[in-house]
């Protein structure tokens, strides 16, 4: 049976988190560079200000490179701004 250290190489190297607001997409510069091949991003929660339609707005997060993540509002027809709480975890 596999254990967690087999997948993440023995432990967590760094954790960075923040909050971003956008109604399309926003690039966020990380405080400390990461190795994208040894990192993942989690959305810890999304709030939306529902715009002119009743369509819900959701956020997506992607690691672009060693210092940049991109937060994207996935239903831009909603007209809403979203607030995305995110965390980037880098492991050894």
Q: In what order do the strands lie in the sheet with 81-91?
A: 12-22, 81-91, 39-49
| pLDDT in the model for residue 74 | 81
pLDDT digits (tens, 9 = 90+) for 45-71: 777 665 555 566 678 999 999 999 999
| pLDDT in the model for residue 9 | 61
pLDDT digits (tens, 9 = 90+) for 11-35: 999 999 999 998 889 999 999 999 9
pTM of the model: 0.80
- What distance in Å separates the CA atoms of residue 15 and residue 29, rounded to the nearest whole number? 14
According to CATH, what is the number of the domain 11-91? 2.60.40
């Amino acid at each position: 049976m596999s254990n967690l250290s087999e997948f993440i190489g023995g432990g967590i190297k760094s954790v960075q988190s923040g909050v971003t607001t956008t109604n399309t997409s926003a690039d966020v510069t990380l405080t400390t560079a990461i190795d994208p091949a040894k990192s993942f991003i989690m959305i810890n929660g999304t709030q939306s200000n529902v715009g002119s339609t009743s369509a819900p707005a959701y956020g997506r997060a992607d690691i672009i490179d060693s210092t940049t993540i991109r937060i994207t509002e996935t239903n831009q027809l909603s007209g809403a701004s979203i607030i995305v709480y995110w965390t980037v975890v880098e492991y050894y």
